[in-house]
Amino acid sequence: MIMKSKYLLAFIFTLLALSGTALAQEQKVCAVYFTGIGCPHCAKSDPVIFKEFVPRHENFVVIEYEIYQQRENAPLLMKYSEEYNTGMGVPLLIFNKELSIIGDIPIITGAEKHIETLKENGCPLLSGEVSFDELDLNSLPGSPKIWANERILIKTGSGNETEEIEKIMKELLFSESPEEVINKYTLLETSPIPVHLSGQDVKFKHAVKVGENWIFQYSYANNEGAITTTTIPPATVPASPSSGSEKTELTLAKIVSLAAVDAVNPCALAVLTLMLIAIITYNPQNKKNILLAGGAFTLSVFVMYLIYGLVIIRFFQLIQAITSIRLTLYKILGGVAIILGILNMKDFFFYRPGGLGTEMPMSLRPKVKKIISGITSPKGAFSVGLFVTVFLLPCTIGPYIVAGGILSAYELLATLPWLLIYNAIFVLPMVAITLLVYGGVSTVENVSEWKDKNIRYLHLIAGIIIFLLGVGMIFGWV
């Protein structure tokens, strides 16, 4: 009887142990996180996730995809957006199809409560949700990093690993003592490598090679160069939604603001009025020519500036690919915006035609006037418009450079919708003036007179908008 009781107790303890193990396996909260080195909003959320949330919650696993420096990860953001309806902004934290958080402040203030509430959560893969313990690490696309317990697995190759290696990697992440696992499997030690975040690095004390394609690192370094955390006082933080599209909205606001500054630029309006005067002088009876010539000129400016925008963006992308200065560049662009704002506001108080960076230089104006005076047809207006944009650049390129630097965070093709929006706003006053003159609501002379009369106020409005935008970029508000 005693023997039977012993066997019964042993059986019960075995069941409890197995159920406890199964329970522990099911209690991991797994999420996918998209970030970008140089993204100013990621610079706020990255350290909070990896230095606060991950260490504080032993069951929290983060599969990180960096998309700016590791371009192979960028297409995954679009695929996740299609599968999980998340939007294309970063930083982005995905828990499941019902819960994703986008934007630095929503993540910093709202993510932890979901980690605590969920208790367990499968890894949100493109093929569906899978518990971390059942996850085939080889199946993860791109170049992921897996964070848990102040430890990290970094994928360094593209080959597949054996089931035994997969088991070892998961043991390393969740065992009480990584050293015991390392000794047990005789893993080869290697030098720890800094893990780059947006604007800073995370350094680890120890590292080992796991299989042919992974490096495991553990124990955050607390010496110089270790990551610093970002905290936001609760009183200053707005309520955070569980999902959103902060990057899309903020980028739209920035692009629209910069385009508006460019649109009210007096020199662009002056060139258009000169062109219309040339058309009317040549054939004052043909009002249709005004509409066609104005439209052709506007279209040529639109096309050329679209090309200039792509060149500017590609230039910034090449610089960042070589030097990894994306976050610094963002601050520099903010400084450029502030300088442009000050120069425009200066023109309100101390106006002189041909101001540096705000109007076409006086030395170029006679040449432009001579070229435009030869326009006799809509076809000529289009051809001259293509050429004259070169002379417009000195007074309109400033805001466009800032916009190009901001958009360089995207893949080149993905910037096209933003450039179309920017240039549509930029040429909007040209379209309006053409329609006003064609419809007889106003004359070219009246338009030119209005521009000259209000030129200081145009500079003031443009200056205030771009100055505030620059300040917001410097301090990370936008």
| 20-236 fold | Glutaredoxin (3.40.30)
| Dist CA 396 CA 391 (whole Å) | 10
| Dist CA 15 CA 19 (whole Å) | 6
* Helix %, strand %, coil % of the chain (to 5): 60, 15, 25
Helices (DSSP H) in 264-377: which residue ranges? 266-282, 287-323, 326-349, 365-372
- Whole-number average pLDDT of the chain: 79
| Dist CA 452 CA 323 (whole Å) | 45
Q: What pLDDT is stored for residue 331 in this prediction?
A: 77
pLDDT above 90 coverage of the chain, percent: 32
Task: Return contacts of 116-120, CB within 8 angstroms, 24+ apart.
Answer: 116/57, 118/29, 119/27, 119/29, 119/59, 120/26, 120/27, 120/28, 120/29, 120/59
Task: For the beta carbon of residue 474, count every other beta carbon within 10 angstroms.
Answer: 18
Cα 323 from chain centroid (whole Å)? 18
Q: Mean per-residue pLDDT for 454-476?
A: 81
Q: What pLDDT is stored for residue 15 in this prediction?
A: 47
Q: Mean per-residue pLDDT for 240-258?
A: 58
**pTM value?**
0.56
Q: Mean per-residue pLDDT for 436-458?
A: 77
pLDDT in tens, 168-206: 999 999 999 999 999 999 999 999 999 988 878 899 999
Residue 323 or residue 341, greater confidence: 341
Q: Which residue type is seen at 384?
A: V
Three-state DSSP at 146 gives strand
Task: For the beta carbon of residue 367, count every other beta carbon within 10 angstroms.
Answer: 11
**pLDDT-derived band of residue 298, with 50, 70 and 90 as boundaries?**
confident
Q: Which burial class, exposed, middle or buried, applies to 3 when counting CB atoms under 10 A from its CB (0-12, 13-18, 19+)? A: exposed
Q: Mean per-residue pLDDT for 26-54?
A: 89
Domain ranges of the chain: 20-236, 246-474
Q: What pLDDT is stored for residue 444 in this prediction?
A: 67
**pLDDT-derived band of residue 243, with 50, 70 and 90 as boundaries?**
very low
- Highest mean pLDDT range out of 85-99, 309-323, 325-339? 85-99
Question: H or E stretch including 116?
Answer: helix 104-118
**Smallest Cα–Cα separation from 341: which of 353, 333, 329, 331?**
333
| Dist CA 382 CA 292 (whole Å) | 10
Q: Mean per-residue pLDDT for 240-253?
A: 48
Sheet containing strand 99-102, edge to edge, reads: 99-102, 92-96, 29-35, 60-66, 145-148, 151-155, 214-220, 204-210, 188-189
Q: What pLDDT is stored for residue 5 in this prediction?
A: 52
Residue 469, pLDDT above cutoff 90 = no
Residue 450 or residue 145, greater confidence: 145
**pLDDT-derived band of residue 21, with 50, 70 and 90 as boundaries?**
very low
Residue 223, pLDDT above cutoff 50 = no
**pLDDT-derived band of residue 440, with 50, 70 and 90 as boundaries?**
confident
Half-sphere exposure in the Cβ direction for 85 (13 Å, CA): 4
| Dist CA 398 CA 388 (whole Å) | 17
Residue 291 or residue 269, greater confidence: 291
Q: What pLDDT is stored for residue 455 in this prediction?
A: 79
Q: Which burial class, exposed, middle or buried, applies to 16 when counting CB atoms under 10 A from its CB (0-12, 13-18, 19+)? A: exposed
Q: Which burial class, exposed, middle or buried, applies to 205 when counting CB atoms under 10 A from its CB (0-12, 13-18, 19+)? A: middle
Among positive and negative, which fits the CA dihedral 238, 242, 247, 252? negative
Residue 120 or residue 280, greater confidence: 120
Q: Which residue type is seen at 291?
A: L
Measured CA angle at 228 (ends 203, 132), to 5 deg: 60
Q: Which burial class, exposed, middle or buried, applies to 244 when counting CB atoms under 10 A from its CB (0-12, 13-18, 19+)? A: buried
CA dist 61 → 45, 58, 301, 478 (Å): 16, 8, 51, 29
